[in-house]
Amino acid sequence: MTDTTLLVTAAAQSGGDGSWLSALADWTVSLMEVIGPAGAGAAIALENLFPPLPSEVVLPMAGLTASRGSFTLAEALIWTTLGSVVGAFVLYGIGAWLGAARLRRIAEWMPLMKGDDVDRTVAWFQKHGWAAVFFGRMIPIFRSLISIPAGVSRMPLWKFGLLTAAGSAVWNTIFVMAGFLLGENWHVIEQYADILQYVVIAVAVAAVVWFVVVRVRTIVRDRRERQLDGV
C-alpha cells in the first residue's frame, strides 16, 4: 500500500464515511500528493476565499502528509501560511474595489442600514485595524472576512501582509502540528475547533439580533417624534 493510499484511508476513517468532510480530506491529500506542499497552500488559499471550507480539516491533512515524508514540516508551515496570505490579499482587493463610498450607497439601499454605519466601521477599523487583522486570523469565519474591511480602509499593503502572515502562522501552526503529531488521530482537535466555531457563530447571531432590535427601536422612536412634531 502506497503512502497516498494510507493517507486517503486515514482521512476517510477520521472524517466519517461518505461525509463531505471526508471528501474534502481526500481531495486535499490527493492535491498535496500530486503537486507537493504547494497543494496545501492552494487548498488554504481557497479556504480563505470560501469560509465554509474548514481550515481545521485542510491544515491537519498537511501535517499528516508531512509526517509521511511527502514533504517537510517546514514546507507545510511555509506553504499554508503563504496560501493564507494570498487568499487574504484577494479579499483585500475586493474590499479596496468596493471602497467606502460604494459600500455607503449599498448600505443606504439595504433595510435597517445607514451610510453612517459604514463610516463608523471604517473609522473603528482605522483605529484598531492592526489588532482586528492579527487576532481575526485566528477566529473561524472572521479570519477570511476581516480582509475586506482592511481593503475598504486601505490599510497599507505591507502592514496588512505582515499582520496577516503573523496571525495566519499562529493558527496554521496549531493545526498543522496537530496533524503532524497526532497522525491518523488528527480529527481529535476538530472537536475543540467545532466548539470555537459554534461560539463565534452564536456571538455573531447575537450581535445581529441586538443590532436589529436597537435599529428598529430607533426607527419607531423617530417616527413617533415626527408624528408628535406634526401635531
Q: What is the pLDDT of residues 125-140, one digit of tens each?
A: 888 889 989 998 888 7
Of 89, 97, 100, the residue nearest 158 (C-alpha): 89
70/212: higher pLDDT? 70
Positive or negative, the CA dihedral 211, 213, 216, 217 is negative
Residue 138 three-state SS:
coil
- What are the grid coordinates assigned to 12, written together? 476517510
pLDDT-derived band at 159 (thresholds 50, 70, 90) equals very high
Which amino acid type is present at position 26? D
Domain boundaries, the chain: 3-203
Q: What is the mean pLDDT of residues 186-195?
A: 63
The amino acid occupying position 192 is Y
What pLDDT, on the 0 to 100 scale, is given for residue 165? 95
Q: What is the mean pLDDT of the chain?
A: 77
* For residues 146-170, average pLDDT: 92
Q: What is the mean pLDDT of residues 32-39?
A: 83
Overall average pLDDT of the 195-207 stretch? 68
| pLDDT (average), residues 42-71 | 81
Looking at residue 190, what is its pLDDT? 62
Average pLDDT of the segment spanning 148-169:
92
The pLDDT value given to residue 162 = 96
The whole-angstrom separation of Cα 80 and Cα 126 is: 28
